Amino acid sequence: MTVSVRAESRIDAGGTQTLDGVALTLGPDNSPMPARAYTSPAFYEAELETVFPSSWVFVGHERWAAQPGDFMAETVGSEPVVVVRGLDGELRAYSNVCPHRASLLAEGRGNCGRRLVCPYHGWTFDLDGRLTGVPRRRLFDPPIDPARLGLRPLRLDTWEGLVFVNVSGDAPALIDYLEDVPRLLGGHQIAGMGLGAFLDDPIAANWKLVMDNAICDYHLSMVHRSSIAALVDLDGVRDRAGATTAVAAVPWTASARPAEPWPTLTGDAARGSLGCYVFPNLHVIGFPTGGATVMWWTPTGIAGTRARVLSLSHQPDDDVRAGAELLAAVQREDFDVCERMQRGIRSNGFRPGPRHGEELRIVTFQRRLMEMLATAAGERTGPTPRPAGGRP
């Protein structure tokens, strides 16, 4: 539990848990969350303090930290995190905060050699997190114990080369958290793919609006009519939902499909894209060409999101979905509509409209978000009806 969640939570007259006036349950027929959930500072802070730390959150590709001393720094909710490759070859995650005066130890990606050094007072930490150097240590009174002042370790796991961190340490095992995704994308052999184009851009919109859009199949024909809509058979889209994941099988048109799909792919994976959403902010899309795209969205403010896309492929020169130009075009189309929604969501007269059948994955996202906030507030709202697999 966090202070802000408790402080702003209430039980309304109907017995429903609320946070800053937002009911922490989806409406009838899993209708969308209200506009205030996208604009409330208290709601946003609760997400940072509760939802992200308690989830498995993607932080990067393990090849970005391939050699000893290689690191990548990220933010999970409000927690600065650094992942570093040790001298023994192991990846480890730590709170990216010096235990002396809270300076960040690392930023971005790079190599720190054999140790992490605080840029403020020069405290030095081995790659296993131990404090090994304190300038002018004799002036501390009483004397400090370096064994008690190492970096705070965080839970880390990987799947197919993708690195995840669970800050709270109490999420289920990653393989269980991913539900059916490892099986569905197993034939793509993602761990063996080469790294291709990488995009990193800001969006002036709340991260939940961006997520709603990213896992909405209903918008494809309109928003992406100039880029990818012609490549897919929108009438054949099929969705399925779990607790922490949701998947859309999107068949490609005959003209877009490769003459021969990647040899280890069968079924839906050979006929089109498999868009696999993992709560809270990751989308891994596998293609019949043997390529994949990893997309993730990090909140940077109540009306700001950092959008990143990494292209992966066994054959990047031949993959229709791997090029930076197409990825950038899709991003621009999504950015425009998300920023339009951000301006519109503040309208006093707006109330969420009815849920479309191609918005099943949004239900999975919003339901889990609400359940986690309700639990953190100290009250469960009771079970929410879960849509069956397939299109509702």
Q: What is the pLDDT of residue 28?
A: 73
Instruction: Say yes or no: 112 and 242 in one domain.
Output: no
Q: Is the pLDDT of residue 1 over 80?
A: no
Is residue 98 one of the residues assigned to a domain? Answer: yes
Number of domains in the chain: 2
Query: pLDDT tens digits, residue range 217-240?
Result: 888 878 787 777 778 888 888 999
Is residue 362 one of the residues assigned to a domain? Answer: no
Buried b (16+ CB within 10 A) or exposed e, 287-314: bbbbbbbbbbbbbeebbbbbbbbbbbbb
Q: Is the pLDDT of residue 252 over 60?
A: yes
Query: pLDDT tens digits, residue range 23-36?
Result: 898 877 788 899 99
Question: Domain of 124: which CATH number?
Answer: 2.102.10.10
Which among 355, 345, 349 is positioned nearest to 385, based on CA atoms? 355
Euclidean distance between the first and the last CA atom of the chain, given in angstroms as a whole number: 34
Structure tokens at 40: 């409330």
d(CA 151, CA 131) in angstroms, rounded, equals 7
Mean pLDDT over residues 278-300, rounded?
Answer: 95
Q: Is the pLDDT of residue 371 over 80?
A: yes
Confidence of residue 386 (pLDDT cuts 50, 70, 90): very low
Instruction: Say yes or no: 214 and 338 in one domain.
Output: yes
Instruction: Say yes or no: 269 and 120 in one domain.
Output: no
Q: What is the extent of the structural domain holding 298? A: 180-344
Alpha helices, DSSP H, located in 203-294: 207-214, 220-223, 268-271
Kindly report the pTM of this predicted structure: 0.91
Instruction: Say yes or no: 230 and 96 in one domain.
Output: no
Decide: 359 and 272 in contact? Cβ < 8 Å.
no
Query: pLDDT tens digits, residue range 139-174?
Result: 999 999 999 999 999 999 999 999 999 999 999 999
Instruction: Say yes or no: 257 and 126 in one domain.
Output: no
Q: Half-sphere exposure of residue 156, counting CA atoms within 13 Å on the CB side?
A: 21
Instruction: Say yes or no: 320 and 187 in one domain.
Output: yes
Q: Mean pLDDT highest for which of 66-80, 247-261, 361-375? A: 66-80
Instruction: Say yes or no: 340 and 216 in one domain.
Output: yes
Decide: 249 and 217 in contact? Cβ < 8 Å.
no
Instruction: Say yes or no: 296 and 222 in one domain.
Output: yes
